[in-house]
Structure formats: C-alpha cells, structure tokens
Amino acid sequence: MAQNIDYTVASPEAIESELGQKLERLRLSKNINQTMLAKEAGVSRRTITRVENGEGISLDTLIRVMRALGVIDGLATLLPDPTTRPVERIKLGGHERKRARTKKTSDADAWTWESESGE
Amino acid sequence: MAQNIDYTVASPEAIESELGQKLERLRLSKNINQTMLAKEAGVSRRTITRVENGEGISLDTLIRVMRALGVIDGLATLLPDPTTRPVERIKLGGHERKRARTKKTSDADAWTWESESGE
DNA sequence: ATATTTTGCGCCATATCCTGCTCATTAACG
DNA sequence: CGTTAATGAGCAGGATATGGCGCAAAATAT
C-alpha cells in the first residue's frame, strides 16, 4: 500500500504527505517516540506530529528532523550539480553567468524550457 | 568554490543557503529569470529571491520550485525506504509497528539510537 | 481483561513566511 | 560608452507555521 507516487504529477500536499509517512516509518524503525525525536530535532512534539501527518511545514523543520533521524545526507544529493554538466552552461557564454537573459526584442514573451527531464 | 558542505554538521541555515545556491545555478543553466520561474512555480518572484538567498522558506515552496525546474524527482529518493530493510523491523515484533516503545520501567530515561549511520 | 505509553488533535498566542509593491543596483547587451 | 533587463531588498498586511497546553483515543505490554 502507498506505493511510490509520481512526484512529477503529484500535488505538493501529496508529496508532503508521502514524505511524512516515510519519516514516520523511519522513526518507528528506530523505535523512537515523537517526544524523543522532537527533543533531538529541536522542535516540539506537536510539530513532529504535523510533519508525519503531511501538514505544512518549513524547510527548516524538515532539515532538523532529517538530521535527528540520521538521514540528512539525502539532502546533499537532492539537487543535481550544474557544474558537473559544463557542456550546457558553456553554450550560453564562456564564464559564470549571474543573470538570465531573455531578450524581449519584439513580442516574444512566450518562452518554454521544461525540456531536459520531460523527455 | 563553495564546495559541498558537510550536511551532518552544518546548521539548517547553512544547508538552506547551499540548496538555494544550487537552485539558482540550476535556473541559470536553463537561462530562466526569476519572474518566469516564479510564474511557473506558482509563487511570487520575491519568494524565488528568498529561496535562492537561503532565507527561510516552506517545504511547499521548495517543492513548487523544484518541480518548475524539473528536478522534483530528487525528492523521491530523498529518504531511504525502511520497507526495503525488513530485518531490522522484524526484530521488534512480527507485524507493522505503529508506535514506538521505550519502556520506562525504572529510571531508564536515557536512550540513544543514533547508531546506524553514526558509526 | 487492566495498566501504561504513545499518538492525534483542538485551541490560542506568537513567530515566521508569503505577497505585491517600490526603488536602487548591477549584469549583460549592442 | 549608453540602454535594457535582471536582481536584491525594504515594507505592510495577510497567510501560514510553531509551541505549549490539555485530553481522548489507540496501541502495546502485562
């Protein structure tokens, strides 16, 4: 039950809910109760309940809980590092770009990127 | 510059800052400006700025931005799935555990888990 | 069965986040 | 160089998250 949902189409609420369930299972697998985890994470037990129930939380809270559960390293690989992909960047000028550029010459207000992972 | 920081010891603020920088580089590698990304993510440009500057944000915002950048799949592997590790769980009773248990028989209030990744 | 512990949730006050605006600064372009 | 677009940042008001309380319900152990 509760198989891996499709993150690309799931709503933010659904994703938060999924993450919450995983965190709860993670906690239970270590046989820790919410009170202990809360103390270790530096948040209130009430907040732990909210996290596991998929209610809205801050990134700060997520980080604290993940660290308390010993799974903080997952965040290190959360995002792909663009620097490991020099080819793409170089196409748009040689040096480190600090700002985007979308020339509004005429009426070209329609832009699309989305590429990459889409297909 | 800005090498991968050690998430296990970094403060939540530092981690948020790191994530923000990665998101910004990701956006720039696609040559999208904050306004476009904001529209695509369904948040304000002001919030995009906050995200990239490592200021406090909600998990909801992070999810929206990641999806807009096409890197939402990273969240799917953010947390380890305890179900792929049946051995550990089975030790504490045969069925799915729904609550932790820390017998407070005498004065054993000191508990430690941390194991696993710690050592 | 009873006893014990864990968890969910409502409430309210406070803290933090989000938005929409504005304007100054700065990068990128020709 | 000058022009244009992109970004950072302050601010006020509304929206949301958090903490701490309590108590009822549920899970676990005896």
Tokens describing residue A103:
């020339």
Q: What is the mean predicted confidence (pLDDT) over B57-82?
A: 95
Q: Which residue of A has its CA nearest to B76?
A: A7
Q: Which residue of A has its CA nearest to B117?
A: A70
Structure-model confidence comparison of residues B103 and A25, the more confident one: A25
Structure-model confidence comparison of residues B85 and B23, the more confident one: B23
Is residue A82 a part of any domain in this protein? yes
Where residue B21 falls (left for φ over 0; alpha for ψ -120 to 50; beta otherwise) is alpha
Q: How many residues does chain A have?
A: 119
Please say if the pLDDT value at position B12 is more than 60.
yes
Closest CB to B97 among A28, A81, A97: A28
Contacts of B35 (CB under 8 A, 6+ apart): B45
**Cα B22 to chain centroid, rounded:** 14
Q: Domain limits at B57?
A: 1-98
pLDDT digits (tens, 9 = 90+) for A67-83: 999 999 999 999 998 76
Size of interface A-B (CB pairs under 8 A): 176
Please say if the pLDDT value at position A59 is more than 80.
yes
3-state SS of chain A is CCCCCCCCCCCHHHHHHHHHHHHHHHHHHCCCCHHHHHHHHCCCHHHHHHHHCCCCCEHHHHHHHHHHCCCHHHHHHCCCCHHHCHHHHHHCCCCCCCCCCCCCCCCCCCCCCCCCCCC
The reported pLDDT for the residue numbered A89 is 46
Partner residues linked to A58 by β-bridges: B58
Q: Which residues of B touch A60 (CB under 8 A)?
A: 12-13, 16, 56
Closest CB to B81 among A12, A22, A97: A22
Is residue A104 a part of any domain in this protein? no
Neighbours of A102 (CB within 10 A): 13
Please say if the pLDDT value at position A52 is more than 90.
yes
* Mean of per-residue pLDDT scores for chain A: 84
Strand C reaches within 7 A of the A98 CB:
yes
Q: What is the mean predicted confidence (pLDDT) over A24-51?
A: 98
Is residue A113 a part of any domain in this protein? no
Strand C reaches within 7 A of the B29 CB:
no
Q: How many domains are contained in chain B?
A: 1
Is residue B82 a part of any domain in this protein? yes
The reported pLDDT for the residue numbered A109 is 44
Please say if the pLDDT value at position A117 is more than 50.
no
Q: Which residues of A touch B82 (CB under 8 A)?
A: 22, 25-26, 28-29
The reported pLDDT for the residue numbered A87 is 53
Q: Is residue B67 within 8 Å of residue B88, measured between CB atoms?
A: no
Is residue A16 a part of any domain in this protein? yes
Measured torsion, CA atoms of residues A68, A69, A75, A76, in degrees rounded to the nearest 10: 90
Please say if the pLDDT value at position B108 is more than 70.
no
Is residue B94 a part of any domain in this protein? yes
pLDDT band at A114 (very low <50, low <70, confident <90, very high): low
pLDDT band at B89 (very low <50, low <70, confident <90, very high): very low
Q: Which of A33, A53, A60 to mutate to test the interface with B (most CBs of B within 10 A)?
A: A60
Please say if the pLDDT value at position A103 is more than 80.
no
Dist. CA B16–CA A6, nearest whole Å: 25
Is residue A32 a part of any domain in this protein? yes
The reported pLDDT for the residue numbered B62 is 98
- CATH code of residue B60: 1.10.260.40
Q: How far away is chain A from the Cα of B94, in angstroms, using its nearest Cα?
A: 13
